[in-house]
C-alpha cells in the first residue's frame, strides 16, 4: 500500500505557516486556514512562482519536511499495517526542478522525519507520478492523484483535507488514517478495485 506524505502523514501547511511567521515575519492572521489547494493568493502571494519560492526557501532553511509532528495516527496506523503483513510505500511529490538544488535535502529530511516519528515504511520514493511505484491501495489528498492511481489499477483513496471539499467529488474518501487502516483490513478480507 502507498501513502502520500503532505497533508496525509505530515502537516505541510502548518510548517509553511510556521516558517513564514518565524523567518519572514508574516503575521499569523495573514495566513488563514486554506480552503483550496492553490492557496497562495489567499495568503497574499502574487502567483505560483512566489509560492514556490517560499516553499523552496523553507526547504533550504532545513525546516520544510523536518518541523512538525505527524498527523494523528501516522505511526500507529503504519505499524498496524506492517504488523498485518502489508508493505508500506511512501511516495511523495516532494520534488522540485533540479535547478533549485534541494531534492537531495528533501529526500534526506523526509526520511529522517519519518524515522524520528517512528512511521513504518518499506520504501520512500520522491515521485511526481504516484503510479510510478505499484501499490494495491494508496492514500492521497489530491483528487487528480487519486484519479491517476485508479486509472492505473490501484484503489486510490482520498484523504479528507481542506482543499478537496468539492461536494461533487465522488471519490472514495476517508477522514482519518485509522479509517484508512480499517478500509485496508476490510479489503484484505474482501478484495475490491477502483
Select from 5, 7, 2, 8 the least CA-distant residue to 138: 2
Domains of the chain: 2-11+70-189 (3.40.50.1000)
Q: Is 182 an active-site residue?
A: no
Q: Summarize pLDDT for 42-92 with one digit per residue, the tens.
A: 999 988 889 888 888 877 777 777 788 999 999 999 999 999 999 999 998
Q: Is 4 an active-site residue?
A: yes
Model pTM score:
0.90
Decide: 148 and 130 in contact? Cβ < 8 Å: yes
Catalytic-role residue among 4, 47, 118, 136: 4
Q: Which residue has the higher pLDDT, 113 or 193?
A: 113
Angle made by CA atoms 12, 57, 17, in degrees to the nearest 5 = 35
Q: Describe the strand order of the beta sheet including 2-3 as a list of residue ranges.
A: 123-126, 89-92, 2-3, 137-140, 155-159, 173-174
Per the structure block, which three cell numbers stand in for 13? 501547511
What whole-number distance in Å separates Cα of residue 103 and Cα of residue 98?
Answer: 7
Amino acid at each position: 500500500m502507498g501513502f502520500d506524505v503532505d497533508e496525509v502523514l505530515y502537516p505541510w501547511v502548518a510548517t509553511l505557516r510556521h516558517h513564514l511567521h518565524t523567518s519572514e515575519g508574516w503575521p499569523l492572521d495573514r495566513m488563514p486556514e486554506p480552503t483550496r489547494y492553490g492557496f497562495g493568493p489567499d495568503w497574499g502571494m502574487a502567483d505560483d512562482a512566489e509560492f514556490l519560492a517560499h516553499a523552496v526557501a523553507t526547504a533550504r532553511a532545513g525546516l520544510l519536511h523536518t518541523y512538525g509532528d505527524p498527523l494523528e495516527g501516522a505511526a500507529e496506523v503504519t505499524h498496524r499495517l506492517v504488523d498485518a503483513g502489508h508493505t508500506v510505500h511512501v511516495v511523495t511529490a516532494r520534488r522540485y526542478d533540479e535547478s533549485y538544488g534541494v531534492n537531495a535535502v528533501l529526500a534526506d529530511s523526509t526520511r529522517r522525519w519519518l524515522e524520528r516519528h517512528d512511521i513504518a515504511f518499506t520504501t520512500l520514493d520522491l515521485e511526481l507520478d504516484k503510479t510510478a511505484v505499484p501499490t494495491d491501495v494508496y492514500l492521497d489528498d489530491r483528487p487528480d492523484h487519486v484519479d491517476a492511481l485508479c486509472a492505473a489499477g490501484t484503489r486510490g483513496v482520498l484523504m479528507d483535507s481542506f482543499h478537496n471539499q468539492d461536494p461533487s467529488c465522488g471519490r472514495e474518501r476517508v477522514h482519518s488514517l485509522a479509517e484508512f487502516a480499517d478500509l485496508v483490513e476490510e479489503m484484505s478480507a474482501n478484495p475490491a478495485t477502483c
